[in-house]
Structure 1
Amino acid sequence: MSVCAAGGSRRSGRSRRAARWFEVSRLKPPQTRWLVVAAAFTLMFVGFGAAYSFAAFFRALQEEFAASRGHVSAVFSVAAFLWFALGAPGGMLADRFGTRRVALAGVACLGAGLAAAGLAPSLTLLYVTFSVGLGVGIGLTYVPSVGAVQPWFTHNRAFASGIAVAGIGAGNFLVPPLAAWWIELFGWRGAFFALAALCVVLGGAAAAVVDNRPGGVPRAAAPPPAGAALGSALRSRLFWALYGTLLLPMFGCFVPMVHLAPYATDAGHPEAVGVLLVSLIGLGSLLGRFSIGAFADRVGRIAALAWMFAGLGAMLLAWWVSTSVLALGAMAVAFGVFYGGFVATLPAVVMDLFGGRAVAGIIGWLYTAAGVGTLAGPPLAGVAFDAFGSYDVPILAAAVLSFAGAAGAYALRGARPLPS
């Protein structure tokens, strides 16, 4: 080969590398990456904020429809069951049609469900409007928006994902007091309309920006990462052991989200205090999501999951003996820390045990355990209150189940990862 040819070859190689660098830079500009993160944060902020603001509506709905606490709390539980059950299908739709289209459909469901809830003449129609609208809407925005963040980052991916999912805690912290204020101003029906407008305006803007395809093109094909296939995982004892371990604490995990506000009212505190307590769970959740990493690295991720479940049980016991605002507030923040820590730890545990080949699908199937527990827990707590006149039985039962889940998770510490 001549010197000129060799020089031309080197220049050609440098040109190709420069072209590839330019193309990657063009497809993934830093400002666009973080705009997608902000959009994902916003989608989770409005969706979960609207869902957790249900605590602010609880007493108004109970009085409006002369309904039992069991029936009113089931409105939230059906919504939560739907968004957990639809997480995996929502992610599959986003992979096929793009996150933007799926998220826009989800925002439309959120807005329509909340607006229709403001017109509902009966509690039954609240199931059709609030429960279905929010359940489907969050199902089409939650997992798809989290997944949309991933292809935009090679470095700082975990950090970016953490910021995105912090929208859940921020919505839980900020939107319930806002909803309570709107209820004072406009009544509960007008407050639902205001929440619908918030979701459509902020959520619509975010959905128009979020995208899981940098540069507008699908991600390049790549060999699947190491790990168990979804079918193999679902047929394994390890999966079902983890599923049962997750299911037990979930019966009580969302009980405070629904019943802490009426519990505080029963204790003689103003309704605003009850709503504030639910917001403090969101604050604690934010702290837990960002602080669990170092602890999990020190004790091991599965052991950390066990500690989170045990912490939930301990805080349920603290709730049982608490009546003052200070004690209930401290319990709410601590409960949120353990809840946020559990949510942040579970995906890493799945990755450790099953690998990355089908991690999203496995997490989606595990989330159905959370859906089942949430569908049953808050309504059963309401039924127990209606029957016994107190929350003693459901709170203690939830604590026992949380400790049982902690024991199950601790027993999995020596589990071997499922082979590929």
Structure 2
Amino acid sequence: MVTQAGQATFFYGYIIIFAGFIIQAVAWGTGNSFGVFFDPLITEFGWSRAAISGALSMGFLVHGVSSMVLGNLNDRFGPRLIMSVCSLFIGTGFLLMTRIDSVWHLYLFYGLIVSIGLGGIDVIPLSTVSRWFYRQRGMMSGIVKVGTGLGMFVMPFFINWLLTGYGWRHSFLVLALINCAFVLFLAQFLVRDPVQKQQYADNDLTNAHDSHTGTEQGLAFKEAMRTRQLWIICMVYFIILFCAYTIIMHIVQHAIDIGLPSGAAAGVLSTVGGVSIFGRLVMGGAGDRIGEKTGLISCLLILLVALCWLQAVNALWMFYLFAMIYGFAHGGFFALVSPLIARFFGTRSHGLLFGIVIFCSTVGGAIGPLMAGYLFDVTNSYSWVFSILAGMCVLAVVLTAALKPIARQ
């Protein structure tokens, strides 16, 4: 039903937000908590950290390639079908993880199958949100990404409880069932854009022209590919994911090495997730007001502070303080990226462009944990790792400051 003012009595965009929120919470809550499995896998099989990190690195690369493909398919066929397929990949991969007994199984089941499905978990919901919202795009993207923060807060505790009571094989089985059921069900509520529901972006009649003509604003894909801005954003998010996934995948094991019990170490990762909820909300809304570029620089400076502090961490309270500082920046990074792309390039080819940025970032996410695992195996310390992350963060600040608006002809 539509009122005389041209507004729907119920705006379907809020269903998009809710579905995207839960999908993020379940899928990324699980994916970002994989570091909790390091200790039981090392204990049972004796694999090195570099070997396990290598599977995760392969997964990030597959996730990146998958994001480009799925972003393009999402632009063409819509989110419902593509997200449904993603859910089947994630569920099947985790189900197969219950049967691993060799390291190549980890590379195949998680590094390939699960990661193909994870490739759609950001690009599909966030591209859809960018089409349903304009004025509050940053805030709404931030709300969806709060789901990731909630999942990162809850899942490490939940997985640690499963591991303690039922072992790692049964834990993977439970995660397979949860991911497949939730993501597949919620995918059925995703709709590509307001025109398919006879509504307008932001539920605002002033956006009626674009909705009824089916046109979208922004650069064509080939035009965007020729801009310097796209590749700067790709480099910045390469660095961000290099840092972020090195931290996420190694912070639990680092805390255990320092002497923390496994439950307290998992709590550090959960704190990152919990505080990131605040970061996603605050920086998502701030991006709408002060601009995504300024918001991104702010998050990078906070990350730099956290990395400098991490060099001195040697006690439980210090780990949790690090988690609170870093968690805010972590949340902001992922709330800002989709609106940043829409701000510079519009929504015309948003899914594919977002997929390219995700691919470049996941190359960083692949290299970072592998590098950290190798350096630890060689030096028996994370000191060099944290120093490298801090130096790369400084470079990201400089690159982001160099971003300029695209000259429109």
Q: TM-score range by the shorter chain?
A: 0.7 to 0.9
Contact 1:102–1:141 (CA under 8 A) maintained in structure 2: no
TM-aligned CA deviation for residue 128 of structure 1 = 0.8
Could you list the per-position Cα deviations for residues 24-66 of structure 1 after superposition, in whole angstroms to 9, with x for gaps in the alignment?
87xx662754333222212111111111121111111122221
Partner AA of 1:99 in structure 2? P
- Please list every run of 5 or more consecutive structure 2 residues that lacks an aligned counterpart in the other structure: 199-210
- Contact conserved, 1:249 with 1:398, CA < 8 A, in 2? no
Aligned residue number for residue 94 of structure 1: 74
Aligned residues: CA RMSD: 2.7
After TM superposition, list the pairs within 5 Å mapping 1:399-414 onto structure 2: 399-412=390-403
The correspondence for 2:298, drawn from 267, 286, 307, is: 307
Tell me, yes or no, if the aligned pair for 1:354 and 1:419 is still in contact at 8 Å.
no
Task: Tell me the amino acid that sits aligned with residue 203 of structure 1.
Answer: V
Under a length normalisation based on structure 1, what TM-score does the superposition of the two structures give? Answer: 0.86
Aligned residues with identical type, % of pairs: 25
After the TM superposition, which residues 137-176 of structure 1 pair with which residues of structure 2 at under 5 Å, given as runs? Answer: 137-150=117-130, 152=132, 158-176=138-156
TM superposition shift of 1:405: 0.9
Residues 323 and 311 (structure 1), Cα distance of their counterparts in 2 relative to 1, 3 Å cut: same
Would the alpha carbon gap of residues 271 and 314 (structure 1) be closer, same or farther in structure 2, given more than 3 Å must change? same
3-state SS of 2:100 partner: coil
* TM-score, scaled relative to structure 2: 0.88
The answer for the alignment partner of 1:419 in structure 2 is: 408
Would you say the 8 A contact 2:131–2:194 is kept in 1?
A: yes
State the one-letter code of the partner of 2:399.
G
- Deviation, 1:249, is 3.6
Secondary structure of the residue aligned to 1:405 is helix
Distance between the aligned counterparts of 1:116 and 1:353, measured in 2? 41
- Residue in 1 aligned with 2:203? none
Matches of 2:250 and 2:388, distance apart in 1: 15
Offset of 1:166 from its aligned partner? 1.6
Q: 1:267-324 CA distances to partner (integer Å, 9 max, x unpaired)? A: 1110111111111111122111111256556765323322322221221121121011
Q: Find the aligned partners of 2:26 and 2:228 in 1 and give their Cα distance.
A: 38
Segment of structure 1 superposing worse, 157-166 or 331-340: 157-166
Q: Is the 8 A contact 1:43 1:142 kept in 2?
A: no
Kindly provide the amino acid, as one letter, of the partner of residue 417 in structure 1. I
Partner residue in 2 for 1:13? none
Deviation at 1:182, TM superposition (A): 0.4
- Is this contact kept in 1: 2:141–2:339, CA < 8 A? no
State the one-letter code of the partner of 2:378.
Answer: A
- Paired residue for 2:385, among 388, 394, 401? 394
The question of 1:284 aligning with 2:275 is answered yes
1:263 to 1:139, Cα distance in 2 relative to 1, 3 A? same
Work out the CA distance in 2 between the residues paired with 1:211 and 1:199: 20
Q: Is the 1:354–1:418 contact (alpha carbons within 8 Å) kept by the matching residues of 2?
A: no
Q: Distance in 1 between matches of 2:223 and 2:177?
A: 44
Question: Partners of 1:49 and 1:309 in 2: how far apart?
Answer: 23
Stretch of structure 1 that moved more, 199-208 or 275-284: 199-208
Q: Contact 1:350 / 1:363 at 8 angstroms: preserved in 2? A: yes
Q: Secondary structure at the match of 1:211?
A: coil
Q: Write out per-residue CA displacement over residues 202-227 of structure 1, whole angstroms, 9 at most, x where no aligned residue.
A: 223212333336686796433441x4
Q: Given the superposition, is the C-alpha separation of residues 93 and 358 from structure 1 closer, same or farther in structure 2, using an over 3 Å criterion?
A: closer
Q: CA deviation at 1:150?
A: 4.8
User: Which residue of 10, 21, 33 maps to 1:30?
Assistant: 10
What is aligned with 1:12?
A: none
1:85 to 54, 65, 69: 65
Contact 2:280–2:334 (Cα < 8 Å) also in 1: yes
Matched position secondary structure for 2:402: helix
Q: CA distance change for structure 1 residues 126 and 291 in 2, over 3 Å: closer, same or farther?
A: same
Separation in structure 2 between the aligned mates of residue 234 and residue 155 of structure 1, nearest angstrom: 25
Pair 1:222-2:202 in alignment? no
Aligned to 1:44: 24
Partner SS state of residue 213, structure 2: coil
Question: What is the distance in 2 between the residues matched to 1:139 and 1:343?
Answer: 15
The 5-angstrom pairing of residues 296-335 of structure 1 reads 296=287, 300-335=291-326
Return closer, same or farther for 1:407/1:220 CA change in 2, 3 Å cut-off: same
Structure number with greater Rg is 1
Contact 1:86–1:136, Cα closer than 8 Å, also in 2: yes
SS in 2 for 1:383: helix
Q: Please state whether the residue corresponding to 1:209 is helix, strand or coil.
A: coil
Of 60-69 and 293-302, the range deviating more from structure 2: 293-302
The match for 1:186 among 166, 185, 192 is 166
- The runs of at least 4 aligned residues of structure 1 exceeding 6 Å deviation read none
Q: Which amino acid aligns with 2:330?
A: Y
Q: Which moved more, 1:368-377 or 1:344-353?
A: 344-353
Residue 271 (structure 1) aligns with: 262
Kindly indicate whether residue 368 of structure 2 is the aligned counterpart of residue 377 of structure 1.
yes
What is the rounded CA distance, in whole Å, between the counterparts of 1:242 and 1:213 in structure 2? 25
In the alignment of these two chains, the number of paired residues is 397
The equivalent residue for 1:132 is: 112
Partner SS, residue 86 of structure 1: helix
Q: Given that residues 79 and 132 in structure 1 are in contact (C-alpha distance below 8 angstroms), is that contact kept between their aligned partners in structure 2? A: yes
Q: Distance in 2 between matches of 1:263 and 1:20?
A: 56
Aligned equivalent of 1:111: 91
CA spacing shift, 1:299–1:207, aligned 2, 3 Å:
closer
Unaligned runs of 5+ in 1: 1-18
Higher RCO, Cα 8 Å, sep 6+:
2
2:318 pairs with 1:338: no
3-state secondary structure, aligned to 1:121: coil
SS of alignment partner, residue 101 of structure 2: coil
Alpha carbons of structure 1 residues 293 and 180: separation in structure 2 relative to 1, 3 Å = closer
